[in-house]
Amino acid sequence: MHDELITLHCAPTRISDYVSHWRTGLNRLASAGHPFDHADSLRHFAKHLPYGSTFDIIRESILFSLSTARTADELPLFESIVKRVMNVELNRAYFQPSRTRHLNSDPTPTPTSNATKDNTTTSSTSSTAPASQPRPPRSNFQKPGGGQESGFTDRNKPLARAYVVDAEVDSANDGGAVSSEQLPSSPGVIDEDSPSSFAALGTTLYVPSTSALSANNNVFFDLYRTGVISTAFSLVSEPSPICLSSISSLFNSILDSGCTHHIIKDHSYFWTYHTSQAIPVKTANCGVLETLAKGDIKVRLQCGTQSIVLVLRDCLHAPSAPINLLSVGAMQERRMRIHFNEDATIVHFPLDHPLLAGLSFRATVLHRLSFLQCDFITPNPPITDGSEVAFPAFPVVEQTPELWHRRLGHLGLDATRAVLTKGYATGVDWSGAIDFTDRCVACLIGKHPQQPYPHHRNRASAVCELLHMDTCGPFPVLTPHKKSFFWAILDDKSNFGHVTLLSAKSDVFDTYWKVEALWEAKSGNRVVAVHMDGAKELCLGRLENHLTSRGVVMQVTAPYAHSQNGKIERYIRTIEDGLQTLLADSGLSMTFWGDAALTTNYLRNRVPTSTLPDNITPYEEMECTKPNLSHLRVWGCQCFVAVPSELRAKSGPRRFEAIFVGYEDNRIGWRVRDLNGKYHFSRNVIFNELVPG
Domains, the chain, in order of start with CATH, read 2-93 (no CATH), 244-377 (2.40.70), 446-604 (3.30.420.10), 637-692 (2.30.30)
CB of 491 closer than 8 Å to CB of 464: yes
Separation of alpha carbons 160 and 677, rounded Å: 80
Identify residue 591 by its one-letter amino acid code. Answer: T
Contact 636, 592 (CB under 8 A): yes
Residue 190 to residue 92: CA distance in whole angstroms:
14
Q: Strand 344-348 to strand 324-327: parallel, antiparallel, or no bridges (unpaired)?
A: unpaired
- The pLDDT, as a whole number, for residue 389 is 41
What is the C-alpha end-to-end distance of the chain, expressed in Å?
A: 92
How many angstroms from the chain centroid is the CA of residue 278? 16
| Alpha carbons 85 and 395: distance in angstroms, whole number | 63
Question: Length of the chain, please?
Answer: 693
Q: State the pLDDT at residue 246.
A: 53
How far apart (Å, rounded) are the C-alpha atoms in residues 259 and 251? Answer: 18
Q: So what's the pLDDT on residue 245?
A: 54
Q: Are 200 and 91 in contact (CB under 8 A)?
A: yes
pLDDT reported for residue 14: 81
- Give the single-character DSSP code of 67: H
**568 CB contacts (<8 Å, ≥6 apart)?**
468, 469, 470, 488, 489, 490, 531, 532
Residue 19 CA to residue 13 CA, distance in Å, equals: 12
Contact, 629 vs 419, CB < 8 A? Answer: yes
Parallel, antiparallel, or unpaired: how do β-strands 228-231 and 234-237 relate?
antiparallel
Residues of the chain with pLDDT under 50: 98-215, 221, 224-241, 386-392
Output DSSP code: residue 560.
T
DSSP state, residue 405: H
Enter the DSSP assignment of 465. Answer: S
> Which residues face 488 on adjacent strands?
470, 499
Distance CA 24, CA 180 (A): 39
**pLDDT on residue 392:** 47
Q: What is the pLDDT of residues 148-162, one digit of tens each?
A: 444 444 444 444 443
State pLDDT tens for residues 491-505: 999 999 999 999 999
Global confidence as pTM: 0.40
